[in-house]
Copies of this chain bind each other. A is one copy, B any other.
Amino acid sequence: MKLPVYLKIAADIREKILKGELRPGDAIYSEHELCREYNASRMTVRKGLAILLNEGYIYSIQGKGNYVKEPEHDKYVLYFNEIKSITGKVNNMKLLKADIIKPPVDICNLLQISESKNVVLIERLFYEDDEPVAYDKKFLVYFKGMPIIEKELIFYTFPELVAKSFDVYTMKKELTIYAKMPDEFLKDKLKISELMPLMVVEQKLYNKDNRPVGFGTVYFRGDYFKLFAQASLSDDNNKKLVKENFFSP
């Protein structure tokens, strides 16, 4: 056990907050006092505090001090992936369409492009064994030399596709999730005969200049889809915590 000092400092204060010895709004010992208490330099103390800042336990006000923060009850980390979020195993995919088209009006608005511009339309079906479980429709802003390779179109997820076509990093991604009843078209595609809701996930992707580059909608059979999310106060940050953390707002 040779825990670095800054981790010890962070762990001690975190424990005090968790135990309720320090309540939201309370001031923490000043950095100078903590230096004395742990016989550590200021940088070491600040590194410890930076971890707690990053985890959302504390905040600091220049010239005043560090304070315990009201917890964010509503924040979760969600892992979504149109293939892996299906409860079973997707073992088959079918490419229904991969065309370069003039976009419909609603897509023009969403992607902020004119109607004369080209977009790539991709339609796919995901299967578990022989059961269709999800129908997938995507629009990608087209540019010359865009690599449209059928093998990629079938197996890649939406952000992966965009990453291949544009930059490695998609800067911003937005999800909208809701439930709805299938219309006749989707009932047919997903072979739904009984009473069955759909889960709809809309994905909008932006490049680093904050321009929309893609819009996709996935319709999942309700009985094959579940989303899981987890609160991110501390557990998720533990890996980072082991390494290093120290930065500022």
Chain A interface residues toward B at CB < 8 A: 6, 17-20, 23-24, 43, 46-47, 50-51, 53-54, 57, 60, 69-81, 84, 157, 159-160, 163, 167-181, 195-199, 208, 222, 225-235, 237, 239-240, 242-247, 249
Decide: B229 and A177 in contact? CB cutoff 8 A.
Answer: yes
Main secondary structure, interface of A, reads mixed
CA distance A80 to B180 in the complex (A): 19
> Chain B: which residue is nearest A249 at the CB level?
B70
Copies in the complex: 2
Decide: B74 and A84 in contact? CB cutoff 8 A.
Answer: yes
Output the least CB separation between A204 and chain B (Å).
10
Decide: B173 and A76 in contact? CB cutoff 8 A.
Answer: yes
12 contacts between A and B (CB under 8 A): A18-B208, A23-B168, A50-B244, A54-B240, A54-B245, A72-B242, A74-B159, A172-B235, A174-B228, A175-B228, A177-B227, A179-B198
